[in-house]
Amino acid sequence: MKIKNIEGGVAAPEGYYAAGVRAGIKYKDKYDLAIIMSKVKAKAAAVYTRNLVKAHPLLLNMQHLTDGEAQAIVVNSGNANACMGEPGEKAALEMAVQTAKELGLKTEDILVASTGVIGQPMPMEKIIPGIAKAAASVQELLQTEPDRETKAGTAHEAALAIMTTDLVPKEKAYELECAEGTVKLGIIAKGSGMIHPNMGTMLCFITTDGAFDSEVLGKLLKEAVDKSFNMVTVDGDTSTNDMVLLLANGRSGIRPQGEELRQFREMLDHACVAMAKAIARDGEGATKLIEVQVNGAGTVKDAGQIVKSVCSSSLVKTAIYGQDANWGRILCAAGYSGAVFDPEGTSIYLNGLQVAQDGRAIPFSEDEALELLKNQEIVIRIDLKDGQENAVGWGCDLTHKYVDINADYRT
């Protein structure tokens, strides 16, 4: 395998700089505003929420990405800038204008992202100084060309700044050995609540120093998102603000082709799946990561529907929380998924232990099941006998803490 893990997050690839600051948007001492910048203009691709209601930054980015290029991303947590009408549109634009000004770039080369509560005015009196501070930090990095460690440190602050109810920052970086050098990829994400197939309040920013055409880049990103973020669910809600942005600045001097392009795609898929799993594991209040594998489905669509239905079932999620091998709820969730399959040919395994065969109960050791369900990672495998298609997705358990967190989020 020519792909390896490296340090440095989104600033790991050549020619990227990132910084996070504490702007005091919602909490006093939390990193809450970040800028990610490429030294040169980059090809850019985006995937947005499928929610009919789209936050103001998303609508702005759609305009700014008509040329398929961008140079910097500005992002804040603590306020979603959604459902605010004209003042919301202005706030998103002002963030771009201010970031462009501070960094000496064009407004239309800035992408904007926000996450937090919906329907409240953006505190621009905090956002604008925050942008100035983050931009100054990025500018200093640009001018001093610091060592890898310093760059990694400020990139990590960017990963911190996009967190909301996340408990841990989510960042990774990878390197692919190509014939003429290495291509790097950095990624940060935030998730937690409201994550769903079709993306929950989920932000992900990806940087690479590989060189790609806009069209290839868009295709690569869409495919990776379908296999990763669109297969993760925390609570079944899909937010107004979700997006994944990918910048490719070509600074490695390498344009992957053929087998190398295939390997780059593998690296991108792997990075997105790693973030998707990290998001599920860090779901609001979650104590367990649930992976649902469906094998032997008649079609990919059927396999995917079953994965999503089982991952989303409140009854399955609470059973896993309670370490209860309640496979009936799993079969039941498959049954109402809308997928076509034969329940009487269905077998179910929990962390390798078979608990149902041909759609019915088989004897198994409850003690062994309980022991297996104490794991923090639960793999639910559902074997159909309808065909050759598979799907895999991720979710988390539904806990007391989830209710705690969401019963008083806004106030």
Which one-letter DSSP state was computed for residue 19? E
**Binding its own copies by CB under 8 A: which of 129, 146, 153, 335?**
335
319 binds its own copies (CB under 8 A): yes
Q: For its own copies, which stretch binds (CB under 8 A), given 13-21, 102-110, 252-260, 402-410?
A: 402-410
**Residues 73/188, Cβ–Cβ less than 8 Å:** no
**Residues 58/46, Cβ–Cβ less than 8 Å:** no
**Binding its own copies by CB under 8 A: which of 17, 212, 264, 341?**
341
Looking only at residues 178 through 237 of this chain, which bind its own copies when binding is defined by CB under 8 A? 193-194, 196, 198, 235-237
Q: Is 240 a catalytic residue?
A: no
What are the backbone dihedrals phi and psi of residue 147, each rounded to the nearest 5 degrees, phi first?
-70, 170
Q: Rounded to 5 degrees, what angle do the CA atoms 266, 186, 70 make? A: 105
Largest Cα separation within the chain, whole Å, is: 69
User: Tokens at residue 401, please?
Assistant: 């803490």
> Rounded to whole angstroms, how far apart are CA atoms 252 and 237?
39
Residue 164 in marked binding region: yes
**Binding its own copies by CB under 8 A: which of 3, 315, 353, 379?**
315
Residue 284 in marked binding region: yes
**Binding its own copies by CB under 8 A: which of 5, 53, 253, 259?**
53
Residue 408 CB contacts under 8 Å (≥ 6 apart), including other chains: none
Alpha helices in 148-297 (DSSP H): 148-161, 214-227, 258-281
Q: For its own copies, which stretch binds (CB under 8 A), given 18-26, 90-98, 202-210, 352-360?
A: 352-360
Three-state DSSP class for residue 289: strand
**Binding its own copies by CB under 8 A: which of 123, 345, 359, 387?**
359
- Nearest distance from C-beta of residue 51 to its own copies, angstroms: 4
Residue 71 or 312 with smaller CB distance to its own copies: 312
User: Tokens at residue 197, please?
Assistant: 């197939």
367 binds its own copies (CB under 8 A): no
305 binds its own copies (CB under 8 A): no
Looking only at residues 81 through 140 of this chain, which bind its own copies when binding is defined by CB under 8 A? 82-85, 88, 117-121
313 binds its own copies (CB under 8 A): yes
**Residues 64/99, Cβ–Cβ less than 8 Å:** no
Residue 406 in marked binding region: yes
- In the set 49, 99, 182, 201, the catalytic residue is 201
374 binds its own copies (CB under 8 A): no
**Residue 359 buriedness (CB in 10 A; 0-12 / 13-18 / 19+):** middle
**Binding its own copies by CB under 8 A: which of 104, 147, 336, 352?**
336
**Residues 175/182, Cβ–Cβ less than 8 Å:** yes
Nearest to 172 by CA among 11, 393, 18, 396: 11
Nearest to 376 by CA among 301, 302, 282, 235: 282
Residue 28 CB contacts under 8 Å (≥ 6 apart), including other chains: 22
- Nearest distance from C-beta of residue 114 to its own copies, angstroms: 13
CB atoms within 10 A of CB 258: 7
- Nearest distance from C-beta of residue 369 to its own copies, angstroms: 10
**Binding its own copies by CB under 8 A: which of 318, 345, 353, 354?**
318
Nearest to 290 by CA among 367, 231, 224: 231
- Nearest distance from C-beta of residue 118 to its own copies, angstroms: 3
Residue whose tokens read 């989510």: 170
Residue 143 or 411 with smaller CB distance to its own copies: 411
CB atoms within 10 A of CB 26: 17
76 binds its own copies (CB under 8 A): no
Kindly list the catalytic residues: 201
Residue list, annotated binding site for substrate = 164, 190, 201, 284, 406, 411
Binding site for its own copies (CB under 8 A): 49-53, 80, 82-85, 88, 117-121, 193-194, 196, 198, 235-240, 312-315, 318-319, 321-322, 324-329, 331-336, 339-341, 343-344, 356, 358-361, 366, 398-400, 402-404, 406-411
Query: Which amino acids are annotated as binding site, given as ranges?
Result: 164, 190, 201, 284, 406, 411
